Chains A and B, each alone.
Chain A
Amino acid sequence: MWLLPILIVGTTVALSIPFGRYLAKIMDGRYTPPAPLRWIEARLNTGPQNWKQYTFAIIWFNTVMFLFGYLVLAVQPWMPLNQKDAAFPDGKGMLSPTTIFNTVTSFMTNTNLQHYSGEQHLSYFSQLLFIVWNMFVSAAVGFCALAAVIRGLRGDAHMGNYYLDMWRVVVYAFVPASILAGVLLIACGMPMTLEPSAEVQTLEPAAMGTDSVDGKDVAKPQVIARGPVAAVLPIKHFGTNGGGFFGANSAHPYENPSAWTNFIECVSILIFPFSLVIMFGRMLNQMRHAVVIYSVMMVMFVGMIYWAVHHDSLKPNLAVTARAPVLDDKGKPFVVEAFEKGPDGTLKKVQKEMPPGGVVALPVDSEGWGNLEGKELRFGPSAGATFSAVTTAVTCGSVNCMHDSLNPLAGITPMTGMMLNCVFGGKGVGMINMLVYLIIGVFLAGLMVGRTPEYLGRKVEAREMKLAMLALLIHPILVLGPTGLFAAMDWGQQATNNPGAHGYSEILYEFTSASANNGSGFEGLGDTYGFNDDKKNLSTPAPFSPYWDIATGLVMLLSRFIPIIAPLALAASLGAKKKTPFTSGTLRTDTVTFGFVLLSVVILIGALLFLPALALGPIAEHYGPIPFGG
């Protein structure tokens, strides 16, 4: 049960230390590029940029990504590698414009919220040209932003060059890691092919239905989707993207064939966010401070894993233990045959009243079942809960179990990870978000002891606090505002898959995921339109999906760039100040005491902002009646 999370965390911590050192070398330019790459780097380096130039470069780059991505998806039906099979004899059609908008903004912002199903709606061309390209560069955007912030905090004359940083991250970090992981995943059974979907005749005749050919019924084949999966999966995790090749994401046996691939994928998800904290310390030459930050994040992360595994893998599904009595039409409890263990350990058939919740005692040991709903048992009992904590702490968003099926209290873990968004967080932006909490922490600590707050020897004044608050508050505004709106309107109420508090949780989760640029979902929510031509869709478009497409698209865009722009300005502002000498009165940021201050600030602010929303969702669901409110 606990071996899997311990192995995952332990392996990632061990790898993150040398990898963080390597990343610091790359981003500081302390390497000699091979001759052909040197020529390209010289062309990409348009010169040193201040914070405004760096930020403008980020936004321009993303504007081009938006237009390019929209074009690729819009012309999908006419492009090559649009494989034809029995399910799609003419290949994949054009997605609806709102789905394209949502998909483009989603991948551009590293969210990978998928209001579509990969194998149903995207051709191989779109997967390779749009998805893979976006996965590499969108992941690099946050990474570059962190490097620029570090240079600002260091007081460097400039923040570097965005295009050169982007090149370094993609070519020297993501590409080699993806090649290595891709080879390992193929060796573990992941498909890598450009062949169309496999078509097989089922053993049971016409199990998939029939087609009428020349007046005769002909059995339909089973269509098994496959494709260049191993090209997408490594960067899906290294870049904390999360967008799956298949709709079932890493619960699909081709995306996650075995317990070994599950382990590799979890480590892949965590390695960059963990290493970037080390990189932060190395580049700033403040390793003790980085260790404090790393430790604070680790305490929260381990707590999240423990909470999820305890409430989901060690507690049964709530429906099994629900207290609603099951009565016959005369108002008396049903009497059924059941099995009980006798004193000698053998099973005996007995007559007993049906237990509350309608579950008959089965002839198995029901102790330690955990919540099996929505889980892929081939990974082991705690894999689903562990993955849910991993993927939402670092804003990845891939899933190996259905988060909608988590026990209510266990569902708090993925929501908390996304709401705090600084428990390691996404590569680059997680550390940037923690920087915002750091600034607030030193500010509050400075107020408490009656000294001017300072961070890394530079005074934190009104301008820095305003920028920190802009970066901090945009996230809860974009989570809570749209959640309240959609929960009150038919757009949300008619889209939920469950009534009452669980339905509210689905809405809350969707906007939290969009705002945190995570991309996972309590799926079951009706947010998929699909192809613009309704006749090509295998399932009916959800009636309010355009509202979801547009609302979550806007949330993703705003929540991606505002928490990058404001901290870049903050870092530049701090770096431009004169450094104050270190004295005995300076608030140290590299001590255990400061670690507790930082931890308290994160938890208190997070609780103030989000506990009421959690109380209406998963907490109400846990304490409410079965079926959840109704």
Chain B
Amino acid sequence: MGNLPQKILITNRIHVLRAEKRITQQELAEAIGVTRTTIISIEKGSYNPSLELAFRIAMYFGKSIPEIFSVEETNEKTNEQLNETSKTKE
């Protein structure tokens, strides 16, 4: 399966960018063609947008996708690394 972790957590700065632009979730939803509940879910991190939607969001804010979305590796990877280091110490 390679060196990539099994699970990755995608976070975003949409709520920050929204606050900077002083727009509501409803206004953002209407601008990019989704419902307000979708915006809520994306900001909470419980729904990851499709590539097309991610591009729409990026184009709306005038930023690139990596400037809005970022990846955090989960604790599963961290635990594996800890186990490996403890084994090498022994």
The answer on A and B forming one complex is no
Q: Which residues of A come within 8 Å of B, CB atoms?
A: none
Q: Which residues of B come within 8 Å of A, CB atoms?
A: none
